[in-house]
Amino acid sequence: MGIEMIIGLAIGMLFIWCGYIIRTKKTFVFLAGFMETWVPVNKERLGNRIGILVMTLGIIAIFTSIFTIWFEATAGKISGVLAIINVGLIIIVIGLDRIGH
């Protein structure tokens, strides 16, 4: 168990905690540009969706740190693609919320 795995687990747990805070308390201060460029239309729905996506990003970080032991570079490439897709989904969810305005 190397230091890389411990760092990956810690970052994954941090993302899961942030996602939990966003989902339960509907607090969007973690998101860039909040209250400066956009204000949520439906806080309940947006909080649930973004919270789940941020928790998923944390799970991806945890699995990456675990699977890097066996699969090395391949796990990093796959998780990088999944993380980019996840961030794209977050942007789409915010856009869909803005359309509902």
5 and 69 Cβ atoms separated by less than 8 Å: yes
pLDDT tens, residue by residue, 41-78: 888 888 899 899 999 999 999 998 888 888 877 888 88
The helix/strand count (H/E) of the chain reads as 3, 0
**CA separation for the pair 96, 10 (Å, rounded):** 31
- To the question of pTM greater than 0.75 for the whole model, the response is yes
How many CA atoms lie less than 13 Å away from 79 in the CB half-sphere? 21
90 and 34 Cβ atoms separated by less than 8 Å: no
